[in-house]
C-alpha cells in the first residue's frame, strides 16, 4: 500500500512501374556513374571501402566513448552543385497525379521532347528536381519527390539519354511553384522540373 512506484500501473502497387514504356532499358544502377559517396564524420578516409554502403565510424554513442570526430566529411565529389544548373527553355516540366510517380501518357510526349533536346545537345548535363504538393507529410514527400525525379530519369534513359548525364534531387514539398491551397495549385506543384548546365 505504501508502494511508491505507480509506473507499473500506468502502465501500390508501386511495383506499378515507374515507367510506362521502355522499362527494359532502365538502368540497374543509381543515377550517377561515379561511386556513391559516403559521408561520415571522423571516419578514416579509407573507411571500409567496398562501395556506398560503408563508412568509417561516425560517432561515439555514449558519453566518453569512442573517438572524437575530426570535422565534417569532405563534400561528395560525384554530385554536381544544384545551383550550377539553370533553366533551359526547351526542357519542360511534367506533372503527376496525387501520391503517384508514374509517367502519365501526355507527359511522356513532353519527356520525348526533353530527351530529343538532350540527345542533340550532348554538351549538357541535366538536373531533374522532384516535387510534391503541400499535402502529405515531410518525410514521405521527400521519398515521393525522389520517385518522381527517378521516374523522369528512367524515362529519359529509356529514350537513349546517358544515365551519367542525369542527376536527380528531391525537394519534397519544400519548393512549391504556387502557394495557394487549391487543387489547381497543387497540380502545378506535383512536378518534375528540368535544369541544364554545360559539361
Partner 1 sequence: MRRPLSALVLGLFVVTLIAPWGSPPASRAQGVDVYINVTGGGAKKLNIAIPEFSVVAGTDAGGVAKLLATVAGQDLTFSQLFSVVAATGSIPANDPAALRQSWTEFAAAGAHAGVHGLLAIRGARLEAEMRLYDLTTPEQKLIGTKSFEMPSDQARRLAHKIADEIALQFTGDRGIADTKIAYVSGPRGAKEIMVTDYDGLGPRPITRNSSINLTPVWSPDARSLAYLSYKNGYPDLFRAFPFERRPEQTLAAFVGINSSPAWSPDGRSLALTLSKDGNPEIYVLILATGVFRRLTRHAGIDTDPTWSPTGREIAFVSDRTGSPSIFVMDPEGANQRQLTTGGYHTQPRWSPKGDTIVFTSRQVTHDLWAISPDGSNMRRLTAGPGDNQGASWAPNGRHLAFQSNRLGVWHIYAMLADGSEQTPVTRSPGEQTSPSWSSRLP
76 binds partner 1 (CB under 8 A): yes
11 binds partner 1 (CB under 8 A): yes
Between CA 21 and CA 9 the distance in angstroms is: 59
Q: Which is nearer to partner 1, 108 or 169 (CB)?
A: 169
Q: Is 71 in the site for partner 1 (CB under 8 A)?
A: yes
Residue 126's nearest CA partner among 95, 100, 90 is 90
Quickly count: other Cβ atoms within 10 Å of residue 20's Cβ. 16
Q: What minimum distance in Å lies between the beta carbon of 113 and partner 1?
A: 26
Q: Does 184 bind partner 1 (CB under 8 A)?
A: no
CA distance 131 to 172: 5
Instruction: Find the shortest distance in angstroms from Cβ 43 to partner 1.
Output: 5
C-alpha cell at 149: 525525379
Q: Which residues contact 174 (CB under 8 A, 6 or more apart)?
A: none
Nearest CB to partner 1, comparing residues 74 and 89:
74
Q: Shortest gap between Cβ of 195 and partner 1 (angstroms)?
A: 13
The interface with partner 1 within residues 108-147 (CB under 8 A) comprises 135-140, 142-144, 146-147
Give the chain's radius of gyration (CA, Å).
Answer: 22
* Closer residue to partner 1, CB minimum distance, 76 or 109: 76
Cα gap 109→97, rounded to integer Å: 16
Q: What is the DSSP letter of 78?
A: S
Least distance (Å) between residue 5 CB and partner 1: 5
Is there a contact between 144 and 99 (Cβ–Cβ < 8 Å)? yes
Report how many residues bind partner 1 under the rule CB under 8 A.
76
Q: How far is the CB of 147 from partner 1 (least distance, A)?
A: 6
| Pattern 31-70, partner 1, x by CB under 8 A | xx---xxxxxxxx---xx---xxxxxxxxxxxx--x--xx
Amino acid at each position: 500500500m505504501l508502494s511508491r512506484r505507480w509506473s507499473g500501473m500506468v502502465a501500390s502497387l508501386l511495383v506499378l512501374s515507374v515507367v510506362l514504356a521502355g522499362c527494359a532499358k532502365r538502368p540497374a544502377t543509381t543515377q550517377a556513374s561515379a561511386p556513391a559517396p559516403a559521408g561520415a564524420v571522423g571516419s578514416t578516409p579509407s573507411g571500409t571501402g567496398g562501395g556506398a554502403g560503408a563508412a568509417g565510424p561516425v560517432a561515439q554513442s555514449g558519453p566518453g566513448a569512442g573517438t572524437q570526430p575530426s570535422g565534417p566529411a569532405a563534400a561528395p565529389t560525384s554530385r554536381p552543385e544544384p545551383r550550377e544548373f539553370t533553366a533551359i527553355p526547351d526542357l519542360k516540366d511534367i506533372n503527376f497525379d496525387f501520391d503517384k510517380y508514374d509517367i502519365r501518357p501526355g507527359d511522356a510526349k513532353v519527356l520525348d521532347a526533353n530527351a530529343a533536346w538532350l540527345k542533340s545537345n550532348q554538351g549538357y548535363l541535366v538536373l531533374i528536381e522532384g516535387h510534391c504538393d503541400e499535402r502529405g507529410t515531410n518525410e514521405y514527400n521527400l521519398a515521393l519527390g525522389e520517385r518522381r525525379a527517378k521516374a523522369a530519369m528512367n524515362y529519359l534513359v529509356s529514350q537513349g539519354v546517358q544515365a551519367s548525364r542525369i542527376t536527380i534531387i528531391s525537394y519534397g514539398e519544400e519548393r512549391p511553384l504556387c502557394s495557394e491551397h487549391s487543387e489547381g495549385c497543387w497540380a502545378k506543384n506535383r512536378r518534375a522540373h528540368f535544369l541544364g548546365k554545360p559539361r
